[in-house]
Amino acid sequence: MENSVVIEIKNLTKIFGGLCAVSDFSGNLCENQIIGIIGPNGAGKTTIMNMVSGIIQPTSGSVVFKGQDISRLEPEKINHQGIARTFQNIRLFQDMTVLQTVMTAYSWRAPYNVLETLLSLPRVGKFEKEIREKSMCWIEKVGLTEQANLTAQSLPYGMQRRVEIARALASEPCVLLLDEPGAGLNQSEVCDLVDLIQGLHEELSLAIMLIDHRMDVIMRLCKWIYVQDFGKGIAQGTPEQIQKDPVVIKAYLGEEITNA
Amino acid sequence: MQSAMIFQQVINGLSLGAVYALIAVGFAMIFNVLKFSNFAHGGVLGISAYAGFIAATTFKLPLVGVILVGILAGAITAVIVEFVAFRWIRLQKGQLIYFFVTSVTMLMLLEQILIISFGASFESFPYTLLKVKAIKLSNLTISVTSLLTLVVTIIAFGILIYVLKKTKVGIAIRAASNDLVATSLMGINVDFVVISAFVISGMLGGLSGVLYGISASLSPQIGEIVVKGFIASVLGGLGSLTGVAIAAVALGLVEVFLISTIGSGLSPVVIFVIMIVFLLVRPQGFAGVSFADKA
Amino acid sequence: MTFYLTVSLAIAVSSIAVLGTFMLTGMNGLFSLGQAAFMGLGAYVSAICVVNYGLPLPVAILISIGITIVLAAFVGLATLKIRQDFFALVTFGFGQAVIGLLTQMVNVTGGAMGFSNIPEYTTPALAFISLAVAIVFVWGLRKSHFGRDSLAIRSNELAAKVAGINVFKHKMIIFIISAVFAAYAGALMAFHTQYVEPAMYGWITSVTWIIIVFFGGRDSLTGTVIGALVLLAMPEVLRFTAAWSTLIYCVIILLIINLRPRGLFGTWELTLRSLTRLFKPKKAVEEVK
């Protein structure tokens, strides 16, 4: 049952000017595990994910990935190590098709330099063909085969989310960070999304760190949950434990209901 | 003798800095409200300077009239620029780069208009504009144009501070600088705020153009000193009008001393280096706020 | 050389520089006001090598390109991490600094009076073949992941980073390549016009190139090339002065950005497929019948 720890977060803190966005967060993500970080808006969840993915530097504390301290690495280097992520506010590339968007995740693996592309050497065409096929596989996995050559931005919101997931998968990561993947989706879309994430987790043996504030998503997917409020960790445990934890309920729903 | 020269240089530097401060604040105001760099401000400057020149030479207006013409020309030109170059992009919510293209294009356009109308050479404001050329105090010669620039600038900033703090327009502009969307949600007409900002910015630009034309030099390329305003905005920290003004004055002083020591050919190089160092070491400037993307 | 050949040659050479701006500003969204300074660098260094030091043309050009690469690397290192507005300002400052230096070093460069007596080494063949090769280079770049990465970085830099793209390295490469294009064009032009002066390489020239790119459409290589040919030929054909043609460029681009921001050609490219598609509709109609 003991899976090895893939990401170890220790005392992660981020202070912006006078505001302490994240205070002393510690947590682990094990191989083949889905963990969740939940909390009301402003709790610092996205900031934690930003620090893990290298977009922000922590004020103090560390993030260790497979034994290596990645706290100060650039985002692209972290991606090369094997961590990919999606964004709460979908960040797609304007005017690019779904296929092109997913293919960007393979660019860094190009086995040639710029001079060779200037000369259009055959190696370039070969690589392009390979990554196009691989990207199509990921697009099929998220169920967007028919939309592959459409502009990503012209798609409905739910599909755009899946494009982002396909792009993250194309990095061929071992860890996937999902930032509020269900945001903006209706109930049935959320169900489909949860099925998708569950399926990917099982098929690809991905370790997943999930942020959301929708209980149905978190409860169904996560084995272990960290609860944040105003930057501080207020609870952690299995979904069942969290659901019953009075501290958590108070943070989400307020005092009156606990006392009622 | 040394201290007299230094004192004169300081006055010149402060006067130049005052003009830069007017430019920088006008520039920064548009940046704060619309979040892009309005290079066209230089064009506004240039047109106003020449408008003042025509007022002084063809219409033989007195000094006060010349300055007022400059201010009015600045306001009008700025509004025209907004309509022609920025309005459409703003309404279509176009990407930032289109603003860059049109704002630089407007700067170029207005400069070419001046070149075609007036020829590429330098002009000077009529000698009779100022009754007194220089004031002599013991062994100091203070140029009246420098003093004029300083005094007028101080008055202008005084008025500006009053407008920004006490009038509805000013408060709306300050709110919009903070958050344009929230301001519009509060029921304030965004168009009104934008045009007002351009009018005020244009007036500042027009004033700076006329003052620079009178105290320094006048040529179709006068608009290019908007870059100095931009530099001051960077050094002072975009977002803080006071910081910008102070940085501009400092820039004027530094430039005057650089020119007197290493000459006007190499001073752009030194200023460039200073700028780069600043941008790498402290990109938010002295007093500014850093602009970070929300991930 | 006939008048038309001379003009065509000059247009072809300038188009090479425009291609540099196409890569830098069009594809990557890096708004540089100092590109023309690199053209000046290429012109002066190669001219000085040949006239003052008697070096053969290819060596002179190689030296000027080498120096350009080094300088572009330095400037890129200092400026590419800065936000867009400041990047424009800093590249403007860089351009002014280069012109200032060229004007100042009177003994070597002739200062504001310019550098003359440059031999006419640029043949029409050299110019046109260079342009063709340049177009092929840019085409290859766009087709590869470099083109995609450029679009990605331009659209959403943060997302590009987390997708594994080394944004800074990419920008540096593009910046240096664009500088080399401009420098090479500068060298060819110097040995064609046989006279150079610092004022030719100011921000107005840089902005003119940007206008040409956005006129044709920053997403269309064909558009940029055709746009360059059209806009650069216009002052010659219509006999405008420099000031008037610049003014007309300004008016044109203001119209384009207000009415058709994607440029005349939008994203249309001249390929075998797009040409057949132009003729296809007629075929489809016949088939339906």
| B58 at interface of C, judged by CB pairs closer than 8 A | no
Residue that terminates a domain, selected from A163, A182, A213: A163
* In contact, B207 and B21? CB cutoff 8 Å: no
Identify the CA nearest to B245 among candidates B20, B16, B13: B20
C164–A79: do the CB atoms touch at under 8 Å?
yes
**Chain B partners within 8 Å of C31 (Cβ):** 97, 100-101
Q: Are C211 and B102 in contact, with CB atoms under 8 Å apart?
A: no
Answer whether A221's CB lies under 8 Å from A229's CB: no
Q: In this complex, do B276 and C101 lie within 8 Å of one another by their Cβ atoms?
A: no
**CA distance linking residue C94 with residue C38, whole number of Å:** 10
Query: Rg of chain C over CA atoms, in angstroms?
Result: 20
What are the distances in angstroms from CA B174 to CA A89, B40, B171, B187, B244?
A: 28, 22, 5, 15, 15
Of B261, B252, B26, B247, which is closest to residue B149 (Cα–Cα)?
Answer: B252
Per the structure, the count of domains in chain C is 1
Average pLDDT over residues A33-62: 90
DSSP letter for B123, please. B
Residue A87 lies in a domain: no
Q: Does any domain span residue A66?
A: yes
Closest chain C CA to residue B39: C89
Separation in Å, CA of B130 to nearest CA in chain A? 51
Give me the domain span that covers residue A117.
Answer: 93-163
Which phi and psi angles does A77 have, rounded to 5°? -65, -40
Best probe of the C interface among B102, B238, B267, by most C CBs < 10 A, is B102
Distance, in Å, from the CA atom of B27 to the CA atom of B37, rounded to the nearest integer, reads: 7
The parent domain of residue C52 ranges over: 3-288
pLDDT band at A44 (very low <50, low <70, confident <90, very high): confident
Q: Which amino acid is at C60?
A: A
Q: Does residue C252 surpass a pLDDT of 70?
A: yes
C161 CA: distance to closest CA in chain A (Å): 5
Could you tell me how many CB contacts below 8 A there are between chain A and chain B? 7
A41 pLDDT higher than 80: no
Nearest to B105 among C31, C103, C254 (CB): C254
SS3 (DSSP) at B99: helix
Same domain, A226 and A254: yes
Structure tokens at B180: 């344009």
Give the C-alpha separation, B150 to B212, whole Å: 11
Residue of chain C whose alpha carbon sits nearest to that of B264 = C100
Please indicate if any CB of chain A lies within 8 Å of the CB of C145: yes
pLDDT band at C50 (very low <50, low <70, confident <90, very high): very high
A225 within domain boundaries: yes
Q: What is the pLDDT of residue A1?
A: 44
A168 within a domain of the structure (yes/no): no
* Whether residue A78 is found in the same domain as residue A177: yes
Which is higher by pLDDT, C284 or B155? B155
Contacts of B108 in chain C (CB under 8 A): 204, 207, 246, 250
* The predicted structure's pLDDT at residue B170: 86
Cβ–Cβ of B271/C79 closer than 8 Å? no
CB contact, 8 Å: B130 with chain C?
no
Per-residue pLDDT at C116 exceeds 70? yes
| 3-state SS assignment for residue B143 | strand
Pairwise CA distance, residues A26 & A38, whole Å: 14
Query: What is the mean pLDDT of the segment spanning C64-68?
Result: 96
Residue C21 tokens, joined: 């701006």
User: What is the number of other CB atoms lying within 10 angstroms of the CB of residue A232?
Assistant: 15
A: neighbours with 3+ CB pairs under 8 Å? B, C
**Cα B19 to Cα B76, C108, C215, distances in angstroms:** 20, 36, 36
Final residue of a structural domain among A117, A142, A163: A163
On the question of pLDDT at C257 being above 70, the answer is yes
Q: Please state, rounded to an integer, the average pLDDT across all residues of chain B.
A: 84
H helical segments located in chain C: 3-21, 35-53, 57-79, 84-104, 106-109, 124-143, 145-155, 157-162, 167-193, 203-216, 221-238, 242-259, 272-288
Check if A80 contacts C (Cβ < 8 Å). yes
CA A157 from centroid of its chain's CA atoms: 17
Domain parsing of chain B, residue ranges:
2-226
For residues A99 and A214, membership in a common domain is answered with no
Final residue of a structural domain among A112, A128, A163: A163
CA gap B71, B50 in Å, rounded: 12
For the residues A127-140, what does the mean pLDDT come to? Answer: 94
Residues of B in contact with C81 (CB under 8 A): 280
Q: Is residue A237 part of a domain?
A: yes
How do residues A104-122 score in pLDDT, each as one tens digit? 999 999 988 888 888 878 8
> Is A107's CB within 8 Å of C148's CB?
yes
Return the higher-pLDDT residue of C32 and B174: C32
Q: Which residues in chain C touch residue A129, judged by CB atoms under 8 angstroms apart?
A: none
Minimum distance, in Å, between the CA of residue A255 and any CA atom of chain B: 31
B289 touches chain C (CB under 8 A): no
Give residue-wise pLDDT tens across range A201-237: 999 999 999 998 787 888 889 999 999 888 888 889 9
The verdict on A157 and A212 lying in the same domain is no
A55 touches chain B (CB under 8 A): yes
Instruction: Please state, for a pLDDT cut of 90, what percent of chain C lies above it.
Output: 68
**Which pLDDT value is given to residue B133?**
62
Q: Where are the beta strands (DSSP E) in A56-187?
A: 60-65, 68-69, 83-85, 175-179
On the question of pLDDT at C149 being above 90, the answer is yes
Helix spans in C54-166 (H): 57-79, 84-104, 106-109, 124-143, 145-155, 157-162
Residue spans of chain B under pLDDT 70:
1, 127-140, 238, 283-295
Say whether pLDDT at C180 is over 90. yes
* Residue A112 domain-assigned (yes or no): yes
Contact C162 A55 (CB under 8 A): yes
Confidence at residue B83, expressed as pLDDT on a 0 to 100 scale:
93
List the one residue out of C5, C74, C129, A188 whose CA is nearest residue B280: C74
Is there a contact between B234 and C86 if contact means CB atoms under 8 Å apart?
Answer: yes
Q: List the chains bordering chain B where 3 or more Cβ pairs fall under 8 Å.
A: A, C
Answer whether C177 touches A (CB < 8 Å): yes
Q: Which residues of C touch B291 (CB under 8 A)?
A: 83
What is the C-alpha separation between A227 and A236, in angstroms, rounded?
6
Residue tagged 């370039």 (tokens): A124
In this structure, what CATH number is given to the domain that contains residue C102? 1.10.3470
Q: Are residues A37 and A108 in the same domain?
A: no
B295 vs A contacts (CB less than 8 Å): 46, 50, 55-56, 87-88
Q: B-C interface: how many C-beta pairs under 8 angstroms?
A: 112
Reported as a single tens digit per residue, the pLDDT across C187-202 is: 999 999 999 999 899 9
Say if A88 falls within a structural domain. Answer: no
Q: How far is C99 from chain A (nearest CA, A)?
A: 30
Chain B touched by A46 (CB under 8 Å): yes
What pLDDT is recorded for position A182?
87
